[in-house]
Structure 1
Amino acid sequence: MPGKILVNRLRELLTQQAAIQKQELDLRVEIQIVERQLQLLSLGGGTSVVPVDENQQFIEKYRDQLEPEDIEFLSKKYRSTKEVVEYTGFPRTSLRRDALERGTIEYRKDENGNIRYKTISVMRKLLNVKAEEKR
């Protein structure tokens, strides 16, 4: 019985720790957003309208659905096929089909002609897949 109590206490503490880590990450992201807005404001000559990066807007909108790793993935606007496959587990053929045939994942080609996927599009698909799995 004491072992069960300790296991439950450990679970409780780990859950609290995870919540604190998520909150810390949320604060770091918010700090980065505000710093970026200040930077843009100073570059723009003090205009009151500050454009916000599309990825930052996405993070703000879906913050409750994102894991710390997701936010790190979104730190770049575009990722290579290899990076996307490793992160998401999506097959290469599925990515290409979604990008080139269906148009559900945005992409661009780099200077070498390699496909680079827009991270927001990839994350939208990943969130949709996760939502489908929960049903």
Structure 2
Amino acid sequence: MSIETDRHATLVEIFEAFNRHDADAVVARMTEDCVFDTVGGSDVHGTRIQGRAVRDAFAAVWAGMPDAHWEVTRHTIAGDRAFSEWTFTGTDRQGMRTEAEGVDLFTFEGPRVAGKRAFRKQRPSFKA
């Protein structure tokens, strides 16, 4: 297998783990010092999470939105960079639903993700 094939498989596996809400499987495909820039936050890059805290960040999303789901439309690999296009859906504990398109920009070290920058359309939630 080529490194591009390995990286594509990593992205497929990560999104499958997102949709199973399996934080351990997500971080197993990331470097130990992976940097994750979230879709929101007070900094220009969103909230930056690094290392083992990435696992806890995803677990918190799933705790707050038990039906969180990413429907991937495409993974594109370009050297040590990649992007994944998706539509996110989820309903929070107060019954507010989010449906929005987004994209993740990835940086790889070998077959593992070293960086993930998330971007999502700014769209108001609505009562489910």
- Tell me which interval the TM-score lies in, with the shorter structure as reference length: under 0.3
Which one has a bigger Cα radius of gyration? 1
Higher relative contact order (CA 8 A, sep 6+): 2
Q: Which has the higher strand share?
A: 2
Q: Give the alignment's TM-score, normalised by structure 1.
A: 0.25
